[in-house]
A and B are shown apart, each in its own frame.
Chain A
Amino acid sequence: MRLDWELARRGYRRYAAYPAATVAGVFTNTIFGFLRGYVLLALYEHRDVVGGYDAADTLTYVWLTQGLIATVYIWGWEDLAIRIHSGDVATDLARPVDPLRAGLAFDYGRALYHALFRGIPPFLVGAIVFDLTGPADPVAAAAFTLSVVLAIGVSFAWRFLYNTLAFWLLHYRGAAVIAMLVANLFSGFIIPVAFFPEWLKTVAYATPFPAMIQVPIDVFVGRLDGADVVSALAVQLAWLIGLLVVCRVAFAAGTRRLVVQGG
């Protein structure tokens, strides 16, 4: 536990070391919040409710997703693939700590920094400019926080998993781009999953992606309550554990065929 804590602190500090990058990221996330917000608001010229969301829910959804981009970090993470590609992963294997566990602890540290400095600021801008929906009560707020914590874990396990493809592929970047586009759509990051046609909704909920973005948001805006919240959190936890097991298997299989040149 002590070790995980120390790793998490380093994760936090690594990202805290670049404040200008944080400002740049907040700027971009905020501009995109406005763009996406106005596009989705145009849906309400014709209807009052779309997929169970009213206009305020949809704007809340948009600004939450903009805050969750860096916090949950569903794309753009290639740390492990780069280490596999360069052979540095051999160093990780020689360390007395499991790379998956170390990566997860480090990522939770990173996520705390990003939640505070890249998650909250764009959401505040959105809340000042638009009328947004808030969590109904402190219990819903607590459930949202817990859901985000689980979402970060699911996202990390997913990133770790597709990064292990670098053991088999010479060019992992194509895989990374595909991973990003798939996650973008099915997590409900571009459009709420509730807006999907039924068959596409079924496809989405058969994947771990809604557990990264859509579930925390549905908890926040109160689309899920009571027993539904508990079961949604349980599904997130199941995906987290399941993906971590698959990560372990994939990483072990990858290391068995790993050849590091000139060590």
Chain B
Amino acid sequence: MDDGARVYLSLISAAIRSQLQYRISFALDVVGMFLVTFLDFAAVLVIFHNVPQLGTFSVSEVAFLYALSAMSFALAEFAVGHLDALNQLVRTGSFDVMLARPRGTLFQVLASDFRMRRLGQLLQGAAVFVYAVSGLDIPWNAARVAMVFVTVLCGAAIFSAVWVLVICVVFWTVEGRESTSAFTYGGQFLTQFPIDVYSQWLRRFLAYLVPMAFVAYFPGLYLLDKEDPLGLPSFLHFSAPLVAILAAFVAGGTWRFAVRHYRSAGG
């Protein structure tokens, strides 16, 4: 194992151990979050209480997309969710300290925390996945099972890359932090539903340019063995890994560019 990965693992395992120190509090957090995030899914059920279909998608099919998106997003939150506090690091000058250390700044920020408390959301995504699959007739085989894992991991990578990319705005304006939520939490919301419900300009912008459609929608069409209501080519169903790699490169490049142009808050 190379040195970077070793340092990363030892730092986040320390972060996880510290979170596990308050065992009851941790358990309550995980169980509480697991139960309460169903309120979020309840909104989907309320929609289907009123209509039988959303576009050409049934409740189980939307639940399937929701589950893929929820699991991906929970994994992304584990790894990079604490980027939301980057504005604090910049404002207090803690980020300047990182510049003086012999490691990459992105590495240091990411290795500083690991949101193990989000375990509840990951479990909720898995539970919704079971609910969705039980209501569907998916022709399971080894390829489809592998595809579920690849999809969730690639989805997490795409969410994480977008998170890194958009949070760079705080290097120019510390107060601009909230605009990143449109892409991170907005992406989470967008991917929970079939993208054909959105109007064309929004699809082009948030689903293809910010490649949210590759988190759940395109791989979901393959897994559900479903016709694309938008009639797009089927190679897109398998493009998530490529898109994730591309997104990671763009995000890394943007971060480096941003840090090069970063001028300290002058603390």
Task: Write the residues of chain A forming the contact surface with B, with a CB cutoff of 8 angstroms.
Answer: 18-21, 23-25, 27-28, 31-32, 34-36, 38-43, 45-47, 50-51, 169-171, 174, 177-178, 181-182, 184-185, 190-191, 195-197, 200
Contact = CB atoms under 8 A, between A and B. Distances in A.
B51 A38 contact: no
A162 to B, nearest CB: 13
Contact of A20 (B52, B53, B173): B173
A21 B206 CA distance: 22
Interface residues of B, number: 39
Given A39-B197, A46-B51, A174 B28 contact: yes
B36 interface: yes
A35 B189 contact: yes
A38 B197 contact: yes
Interface stretch (B40-48, B146-154, B253-261): B40-48
Interface stretch (B95-103, B130-138, B174-182, B218-226): B174-182
Interface of B: 22, 25, 28-29, 32-33, 36-37, 39-40, 42-43, 46-47, 49-55, 117, 173, 175-179, 181-182, 186, 189-190, 193, 197-199, 202, 206
A32 B39 contact: no
Nearest to A177: B33
Contacts of A51: 50
Contacts of A31: 182, 186, 206
Given A27-B182, A174-B117, A182-B39, A18 B50 contact: no
For A35, A47, A170, the residue with the greatest tally of chain B CB atoms inside 10 Å of its CB is A35
Nearest to B202: A34
B36 A170 contact: no
B36 A195 contact: no
Contacts of B49: 195-197
A191 B33 contact: no
A38 B54 contact: no
